[in-house]
């Protein structure tokens, strides 16, 4: 504390915070990513320009699964260690994860309409993603509807653990359900083997960009929560003084 204050007073060079560095890196990478996707990436011979949504869709979808894995680990750590830091980490990852799942569903629908000629199909990955969305929206709901913040943290951790354990079971149940009711829609997933070299590189780059983006969003959200808590304490103190 003392050292940082003296640094501010001396007006010397101060290293920007990790969050600011991440924000700048993410911003630059995002712009380059856009350039790659729309200018460099070759247009798919069969699918046309719609295929470009894949450079967003695939990284976002993978990141959302990773986000919920983070929620799972952070929830376990919170139940064992009871440090608010783990709860803040789980909370931030869950919120960003829900946004990512929502985006994955929307970009998926944009893709599905022209390519599969349907907005939605009850295919295992789509169904599992939808269930993920529902579970983690419930996660956020139970957190905010709980009687106290500490109860909300515990309830959310419980849902974070149960939900993550449940996801593979959901996936397999829908896979088996599908195999019994064959679908007229043929999945495009075999296509990924035939991905052109440039396309694969851009997809990889796009994925790394979204990893940075995710890290930045989570840090921003955690900082926001610290501010929220400080504000809550100030409000509480003011109210007590007013009485």
Partner 1 sequence: MNGLLGPMMVIVWKDLLLELRSKDIVVSIVVFGLLVVVVFNFALNNIPGRSEELAPGILWAAFAFSAILAMNRAFVRDQEQGGLEGLLISPVSRDAIFLGKALTSLIFMLLVEAVLLPVYAVMLDFSALSWYLILTIFLGTLGFAVVGTLFSAMAVQTRSREIMLPVLFFPVLLPVIIAAVEASARAVGGETFIGLGRWLPLIGVFDAIFLVICPWVFSFVVEE
Q: Which residue ranges make up the site for partner 1 (CB under 8 A)?
A: 79, 131, 134-135, 137-138, 141-142, 145-147, 151, 154-155, 157-159, 161-163, 165-166, 169-170, 172-174, 176-177, 180
Q: Which is nearer to partner 1, 59 or 152 (CB)?
A: 152
Q: Tell me the closest approach of the beta carbon of residue 41 to partner 1, in angstroms.
A: 36
- Joined together, the tokens standing for residue 51 give 């295929």
Q: Which is nearer to partner 1, 162 or 200 (CB)?
A: 162
Going by C-alpha positions, the residue among 24, 29, 22 that lies closest to residue 204 is: 29
Q: Tell me the closest approach of the beta carbon of residue 91 to partner 1, in angstroms.
A: 16
Q: Which is nearer to partner 1, 108 or 163 (CB)?
A: 163
- Joined together, the tokens standing for residue 132 give 């993920």
Q: Which is nearer to partner 1, 41 or 132 (CB)?
A: 132
Q: Tell me the closest approach of the beta carbon of residue 62 to partner 1, in angstroms.
A: 21
Q: Tell me the closest approach of the beta carbon of residue 61 to partner 1, in angstroms.
A: 18
Q: Which is nearer to partner 1, 22 or 132 (CB)?
A: 132
Q: List, as one string, the DSSP characters of the chain.
A: -HHHHHHHHHT---PPPHHHHHHHHHHHHHHHHHHIIIIISPPBTTTBGGGGGHHHHHHHHHHHHHHHHHHHHHHHHHHHH--HHHHHHHHHHHHHHHHHHHHHHHHHHHHHHHHHSSS----HHHHHHHHHHHHHHHHHHHHHHSSSHHHHHHHHHHHHHHHHHHHHHHHHHHHHHHHHS--SSPPSGGGGGG--HHHHHHHHHHHHHHHHHHHHHHHHHHHHHHHHHHHHHHHHHHHHHH-
Q: Tell me the closest approach of the beta carbon of residue 232 to partner 1, in angstroms.
A: 18
Q: Tell me the closest approach of the beta carbon of residue 187 to partner 1, in angstroms.
A: 19
Distance separating alpha carbons of residues 200 and 191, to the nearest angstrom: 12
Distance separating alpha carbons of residues 22 and 8, to the nearest angstrom: 22
Q: Which is nearer to partner 1, 147 or 184 (CB)?
A: 147
Q: Which is nearer to partner 1, 60 or 159 (CB)?
A: 159
Q: Tell me the closest approach of the beta carbon of residue 158 to partner 1, in angstroms.
A: 5
């Amino acid at each position: 504390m003392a050292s940082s204050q003296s640094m501010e007073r001396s007006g010397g060079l101060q290293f920007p915070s990790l969050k600011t560095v991440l924000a700048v890196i993410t911003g630059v990478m995002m712009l380059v990513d856009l350039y790659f996707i729309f200018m460099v990436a070759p247009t798919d011979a069969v699918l046309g320009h719609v295929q470009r949504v894949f450079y967003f869709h695939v990284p976002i979808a993978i990141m959302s699964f990773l986000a919920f894995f983070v929620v799972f680990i952070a929830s376990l750590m919170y139940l064992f260690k009871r440090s608010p830091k783990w709860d803040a980490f789980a909370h931030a990852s869950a919120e960003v994860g829900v946004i990512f799942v929502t985006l994955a569903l929307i970009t998926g629908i944009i893709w599905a309409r022209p390519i599969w000629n349907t907005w939605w199909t009850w295919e295992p990955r789509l169904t599992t993603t939808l269930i993920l969305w529902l579970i983690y929206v419930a996660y956020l709901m139970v957190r905010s509807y709980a009687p106290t913040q500490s109860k909300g943290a515990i309830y959310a951790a419980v849902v974070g653990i149960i939900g993550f354990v449940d996801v593979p079971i959901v996936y397999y149940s829908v896979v088996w359900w599908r195999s019994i009711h064959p679908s007229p829609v043929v999945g495009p997933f075999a296509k990924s083997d035939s991905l052109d070299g440039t396309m694969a590189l851009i997809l990889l780059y796009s994925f790394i960009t979204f990893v940075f983006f995710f890290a930045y969003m989570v840090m921003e959200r955690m900082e926001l929560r610290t501010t929220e808590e400080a504000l809550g304490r100030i409000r509480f103190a003011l109210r007590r003084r007013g009485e």
